[in-house]
Amino acid sequence: MSCCALLDEVLTEMKDHPVGGATYCELILWMNISWHIITSFFFFSSGFVHASDALLSAPLNVTIREIEVNSAVVTWETLEGDPVIGFAITQQKKDVRMLRFIQEVNTTTRSCTLWGLDEDTEYIVHVQSISMGGSSPPSDAVLFRTPKESEKLASKSPDEITLEEMSQATQLRAGEVIIIAVVLVMWAGVIALFCRQYDIIKDNEPNNNKDKAKNSSECSTPEHPQGGLLRSNV
């Protein structure tokens, strides 16, 4: 049974059996007033929610900073009082239709790092704020270009040393010191072993001479008991 048929049945029943002495017309009037109050409250609530969403402004002062060969940092600002719970960024190469979409919620940050960029390439960036009811209009487009690797290296002065380069140089020096120390210890061990072997050989040399002299005397021709040499009889 449909709602309209059920309502007609209820109204017919109330017409035949008035409740509390109220007439049929009075009941119809009371129901119409109640219905208008309910629908008016519903539309007012919906209109308030949509108006709140429409008041969410686009991010302001969108800026590209720390532009490197393959990365860049996007920063922006929002109006105080906006119920912002996140952001969305669209990144696009100039003259290319393909878009990269970055979204993050449950955050109060107002910056984002763009990774994986191509060198010497122009990019277009838009930023949107996100609330519980939806997204704000996109910000004004921001255009920037990544530098070439050669340009980035040339832009650094000879005396400019970044913290990362200093850290790498320190690590390299520490590794060199360790390698040199290991090599010196190995050489010292080899020299000590050589000296020990040399001392052992030198100590054994007199004994070897005595043994050689003894062996040579034993192998010489025996003499005659009377001091003459033994001769064979012809």
Does residue 91 register a pLDDT over 90?
Answer: yes
pLDDT one-digit tens code per residue, 170-191: 777 777 888 898 889 898 888 8
**Of the ranges 96-100, 105-109, 139-143, 195-199, which one carries the lowest mean pLDDT score?**
195-199
pLDDT at 40: 54
Does residue 36 register a pLDDT over 60?
Answer: no
- Smallest CA-to-CA distance from 87 within 72, 64, 104 is with 104
Ramachandran region, residue 73 (left: φ > 0; alpha: ψ -120 to 50; beta: rest): beta
Range 122-130 average pLDDT: 96
Question: Considering the chain, what is the average pLDDT of its residues?
Answer: 75
| Pairwise CA distance, residues 191 & 197, whole Å | 10
CA distances from 63 to 79, 114, 138 (A): 16, 13, 14
pLDDT one-digit tens code per residue, 208-221: 666 666 666 655 55
pLDDT band for 118, please (50, 70, 90 cuts): very high
Q: What is the pTM of this model?
A: 0.48
pLDDT at 126: 97
